[in-house]
Amino acid sequence: MGAATDVLLVVLAVLAAGAVAFGLMASRQGRRGQDELVASRAAIEADRKAVGLEAKAEALRVRTELEGELRERRSEVSRLEQRIVQREEQLDRQQQDLLQRGDTLAAERTQLEAARGELTALRETGERELARVAGLSREDARQEVLQTLDRELVSEKAELIRHSVAAARTEADERSREVLVTTIQRHAADQTGETSVSVVPLPNDEVKGRIIGREGRNIRALEAALGVDLIIDDTPETVVLSGFDPVRREVARVTLNKLLSDGRIHPTRIEEVVIKSREEVSARIVEEGQQALFELGLQNVHPELVKLVGTLRFRYSYGQNVLAHVKEVAYLSGMIAAEIGADERLAKEAGMFHDIGKAVDHEVEGSHAIIGGEILRRLGRPPEVVNAVQCHHYDIEPTTIMSFIVLSADAISASRPGARRETLASYIKRLEKLEEIANAFEGVERSFAIQAGREVRIMVKPDRVNDDAAVVLARDVARRIEGEMSYPGTIKVTVVRETRSVDYAK
């Protein structure tokens, strides 16, 4: 019993241990199954998210591809539309060209019909003329043939004349250039450096009070005796003499210097010194005239002319001393005359006296050229010289070769660099005035002042100004410039009228 019981107890213990072990195993298997279920669910959820992301990426790729294809399709459609528009424009141009060609062909057809009509008329005229000639005598027929030939040769003769004139002008231009260039090279003149302002320096400013005098009696006596204005201002140690007569200014300058040297300044002394200064200046004028004429080899000149030539020593034109200018013109005139075989002495005389009227033009009304010519005619100078002097600014028409020589020499002397001085402001103002006058006329498109104001070139509208009107316009502009402006030398007015025809080759 005891052994059986022990066995039973052992068996029961074994069974109980097995049951406990089985329960433990079952419990472990249950927990493992739950863990695997959770893991499976997480894996499924991850797969679902991965599939969703892949689907979105695929959808985005497909959308991008579709949008790119759509853009390409739109670009292709735009190119096709542009090609269609260009083609339509090309067709329109071709259609317009065809219409123009049709109009041209119609016009040509009309001209051809007119030419056929003229040919028929000429043929009928020829037949009538032949019938008429058939009834003429031998001599009459000969005269008829000669008259016909003469009429046919008129155009050929005119063309021959034009060619001959053009060739002569070309040859004359070349020869004149050679003469002028040679003359200019042979003569080198000094640059003008003097001014037309008379300024008297003073030793000190205290002298100004003595010049003015008590209650201004000295300065009044000076101005009354000299005929000039004395300007005494704040400028240190300077007195300015103002007067239109250059000889009077010179007399005043000499008088003032003498009074300052002497120290005695009062009305009585002033009158005495003015008389002596006038005599001194008059003698100096004669010496200047004699010296200038001697340098040019001109002899037996009237004393009045000698004095007038010397007076030019105190005259200035645009900063150029007139005596130096006339001497230069005389030299140039003589050289030009020598080059072309004209009278050299007569040319020098005409050049020397061409501005003689400027010595008295402030006393006599009129152009200095006309005044000078009248003086020379009165003093018995040759007619060639008188004409050259009077026409050197085209106040009258030139009639002799001497006139053109002086014209050329005067232009060379006045236009060379440094000969005349003009402020920039007045220079620009003169050019603007030239263009303003030209632009004021009807039909003028634009104008340009060129060659330092010696020429104004006017461009006109061809549909409003014809050839005849262009000639009249040039004359009217020139007359208005003469009436409204003051300028040295001459101003050339050139009117240009041009017609432009434009077409395009397609």
CATH number at 454 reads 3.30.300.20
Same domain assignment for residues 458 and 384: no
Strand ranges of the sheet holding 238-242, from the earlier edge strand across to the other edge: 198-201, 238-242, 229-231
Same domain assignment for residues 223 and 291: yes
Same domain assignment for residues 365 and 457: no
Task: Provide mean pLDDT across the span 137-160.
Answer: 69
In a domain, 389, yes or no: yes
Q: Summarize pLDDT for 216-251 with one digit per residue, the tens.
A: 888 888 888 887 878 887 777 788 887 767 788 888
Same domain assignment for residues 450 and 487: yes
Does 447 have pLDDT greater than 60? yes
What does the pLDDT read at residue 126? 74
Structure tokens at 358: 């400027």
Same domain assignment for residues 415 and 428: no
Same domain assignment for residues 435 and 377: no
Q: Summarize pLDDT for 322-355 with one digit per residue, the tens.
A: 888 888 888 888 888 888 888 888 888 888 988 8
Q: Summarize pLDDT for 157-214 with one digit per residue, the tens.
A: 667 667 776 777 777 666 666 666 566 555 545 444 444 457 788 888 777 888 888 8
Count of structural domains within the chain: 4
In a domain, 184, yes or no: no
Q: Which of 143, 142, 243 lies closest to 200, judged by CA? A: 243
How high is the mean pLDDT of the chain? 80
What's the length of the chain? 506
Least confident of 63-77, 254-268, 406-420: 406-420
CA distance 415 to 406: 14
CA distance 408 to 334: 12
What does the pLDDT read at residue 500? 65
The domain that holds 347 is classified in CATH as 1.10.3210.10
The residue ranking higher by pLDDT, 189 or 483, is 483
In a domain, 32, yes or no: no
CA distance 443 to 461: 6
Burial profile 462-475: b = 16 or more Cβ within 10 angstroms, e = fewer? beebeeebbeebbe
Same domain assignment for residues 331 and 258: no
In a domain, 53, yes or no: yes
The residue ranking higher by pLDDT, 365 or 452, is 365
Same domain assignment for residues 201 and 277: yes
Q: Long-range pairs for 26-34 at CB < 8 Å and ≥24 separation?
A: none
Same domain assignment for residues 413 and 429: no
The residue ranking higher by pLDDT, 221 or 320, is 221
Cβ–Cβ contacts within 10 Å for residue 247, how many? 20
Q: Long-range pairs for 49-56 at CB < 8 Å and ≥24 separation?
A: none
Task: Provide mean pLDDT across the span 486-504.
Answer: 77
The residue ranking higher by pLDDT, 137 or 107, is 107
Same domain assignment for residues 472 and 378: no
What does the pLDDT read at residue 253? 86
Structure tokens at 304: 């009045």
Same domain assignment for residues 407 and 430: no
Structure tokens at 166: 């053009």
Query: For residue 390, what are the domain limits?
Result: 317-421
Does 403 have pLDDT greater than 70? yes
CA distance 209 to 270: 15
In a domain, 443, yes or no: yes
What percent of the chain shows pLDDT beyond 70?
Answer: 81
Strand partners, 492: 455
How do strand 492-496 and strand 455-460 relate by DSSP bridges? parallel
The domain that holds 290 is classified in CATH as 3.30.1370.10
The residue ranking higher by pLDDT, 428 or 52, is 52
In a domain, 18, yes or no: no
What does the pLDDT read at residue 341? 83
From 111, 130, 154, give the residue that closes a domain.
Answer: 111
Classify 188 as helix, strand or coil: coil
Same domain assignment for residues 349 and 372: yes
From 111, 146, 163, give the residue that closes a domain.
Answer: 111
In a domain, 97, yes or no: yes
Element (H, E) at 22: helix 2-134
Alpha helices in 354-444 (DSSP H): 368-378, 383-390, 401-415, 424-439
Q: Summarize pLDDT for 16-73 with one digit per residue, the tens.
A: 777 777 767 766 666 776 777 888 888 888 888 888 888 888 888 888 889 888 988 8
In a domain, 504, yes or no: no
What does the pLDDT read at residue 130? 66
Global confidence as pTM: 0.47
Does 107 have pLDDT greater than 80? yes
Does 488 have pLDDT greater than 80? no
From 373, 405, 421, give the residue that closes a domain.
Answer: 421
